Amino acid sequence: MILPMAESSETVLSSILAIAAHDLASEYSPNDLGHGTFQQMSKNYQNKSLALLAQELNSLSTSSTSALQASTTSAYTLASVITLCNNEFMKPQGAGWRLHLSAAREIILAAGNRPCRHHQLACIEQFLMLEFYEASVWADLTTFDNYNMAVKSPPASSENAVFTDFIRVIDQITRLERLRFSSGTIEQASSFGPMQDIQSQIESARNNMMRLSASIHFSSEADQHGFELVVWMYYHATIIYSHQALSEDAAAGEDVRQSRDEILRYVQFLSETRDGMFAQDLVWPLFMAGTELQGNPTGQKIIQECFGNVMRISRTLDRARVLSFVETWWNDPGTYTSWIDMARKQSQLSQCDILIV
């Protein structure tokens, strides 16, 4: 949806060329001449885009800019920032993506209720805001001291959304966990969604996804079955997360183990059949299942192999560090009460800035 904007915006064009060159660089080994050549091209285009963005942001802050002109400029600026953010996702160790997410947040807040010149532009903005929302939710999983308690609202339109219902629940669970940690009680967080309502929201997300599956024209029944397995994996992963973050019920451990085992069963089936089609969607369920595998070498091996497949098929991104985090969790039993506790304490030492996506 962003590509047509490049015809009217040099900033968007430069951002797209930056991520395209970066993607091409990843096709070469680090010691290959092509890798360095495309990396430099990516850096040059990124720097050009950043310089143009600075001018656009200055224009948006100018009071003489008309509302319609500001709305149009804002859409193009947001497109550039989101594109650059995705470019940083490909080299997340520097966490530059967090800066771009912050910039996107400010652009969206400043846009407010400005009128939009074109219906097509409004649709693109909806898509960009959905991209921003989902990226923010994944980023917040390992954001603690700087966590923004302000309620994030996904765009009202569900168009172009696939796992947004689950992501909305994940967002709510994270917010409840942060509030619980700061206040010491879950009841004080009830205005953000009662604890007892989380399970029904997860069930609702699964049901909505299954209805979506029935409306999609898949090329084969096997593809539809694979998609529905991914839905079930998201369901079980989010069940696990809800218990880890919020539950004090000792009996919940059996539910968590069952969900973990279901994820392992589904991912093994997909790896033998259609892992190439859904590899990019498996990081969240693999991570959550992995956090429940301390002392389980068989399950750990499955997670390691599946992460390897995901990185081979759909780029490394931050997935090597995500796997390394899980492996550290496996090898350090008893030191932390949960992976969330481990991430929180590591973040205080600037040692946990992984992107679980």
Within a 10 A sphere around the Cβ of 182, how many other Cβ atoms?
A: 13
- Of the CA atoms within 13 Å of residue 156, those in its CB half-sphere come to 1
Q: Judge if 185 and 308 occupy the same domain.
A: yes
Domain region containing 135 = 1-147
Q: Judge if 36 and 130 occupy the same domain.
A: yes
Q: Please indicate, yes or no, whether the overall pTM of this predicted structure exceeds 0.85.
A: yes
Q: Is residue 157 a part of any domain in this protein?
A: no
Q: Judge if 77 and 169 occupy the same domain.
A: no
CA dihedral 131, 327, 314, 23 (to 10 degrees): 80
Q: What's the pLDDT score for residue 195? A: 56
The domain boundary residue, chosen from 122, 147, 172: 147
Q: Judge if 103 and 185 occupy the same domain.
A: no
Q: Judge if 212 and 106 occupy the same domain.
A: no
Q: Judge if 251 and 314 occupy the same domain.
A: yes
Please report, in tens digits, the pLDDT of each residue of the chain (357 residues total).
788 888 889 999 999 999 999 989 988 888 999 999 999 999 999 999 999 998 888 877 765 556 666 677 888 899 999 999 988 887 756 678 888 888 888 888 877 655 555 556 777 888 888 889 999 999 999 988 877 777 677 766 556 578 999 999 999 999 999 998 888 665 544 444 455 689 999 999 999 999 999 999 999 898 899 999 999 999 999 999 999 999 877 667 889 999 999 999 999 888 777 657 888 899 999 999 999 999 999 999 999 999 999 988 887 788 889 999 999 999 988 889 999 999 999 888 876 778 898
Q: Judge if 242 and 333 occupy the same domain.
A: yes
Q: Judge if 330 and 182 occupy the same domain.
A: yes
Q: Is residue 143 a part of any domain in this protein?
A: yes
The domain boundary residue, chosen from 116, 147, 178: 147
Q: Is residue 153 a part of any domain in this protein?
A: no
Q: Judge if 239 and 350 occupy the same domain.
A: yes
Q: Judge if 138 and 166 occupy the same domain.
A: no
Q: Is residue 23 a part of any domain in this protein?
A: yes
Look-up of token digits 């530059």: 96
Q: What's the pLDDT score for residue 156? A: 64
Q: Is residue 198 a part of any domain in this protein?
A: yes
Q: Is residue 95 a part of any domain in this protein?
A: yes
CA angle 110, 141, 310 (to 5 degrees): 110
The domain boundary residue, chosen from 99, 124, 147: 147
List, in order, residues 6 or more apart from 283 with CB less than 8 Å away: 307, 310, 319, 322, 356, 357
Q: Judge if 134 and 175 occupy the same domain.
A: no
3-class SS string, the chain: CCHHHHHCCHHHHHHHHHHHHHHHHCCCCCCCHHHHHHHHHHHHHHHHHHHHHHHHHHHHCCCCCCHHHHHHHHHHHHHHHHHHHHHHHCCHHHCHHHHHHHHHHHHHHHHCCCCCCCHHHHHHHHHHHHHHHHHHHHHHCCCCCCCCCCCCCCCCCCCCCCCHHHHHHHHHHHHHHHHHHHHCCCHHHHHHCCHHHHHHHHHHHHHHHHHHHHHCCCCCHHHHHHHHHHHHHHHHHHHHHHHHHHCCCCCHHHHHHHHHHHHHHHHHHHHHHCHHHHHHHCHHHHHHHHCCCCCCHHHHHHHHHHHHHHHHHHCCCCHHHHHHHHHHHHCCCCCCCCHHHHHHHHHCCCCCCCCCC
Q: Judge if 128 and 172 occupy the same domain.
A: no
Q: Is residue 280 a part of any domain in this protein?
A: yes
**Long-range contacts for 75-78 (Cβ within 8 Å, ≥24 apart)?**
75/5, 75/116, 75/121, 75/124, 75/125, 75/128, 76/5, 76/8, 76/9, 76/11, 76/12, 77/11, 77/53, 77/107, 78/104, 78/107, 78/108, 78/111, 78/125, 78/128, 78/129, 78/132
Q: Is residue 152 a part of any domain in this protein?
A: no
Number of domains in the chain: 2
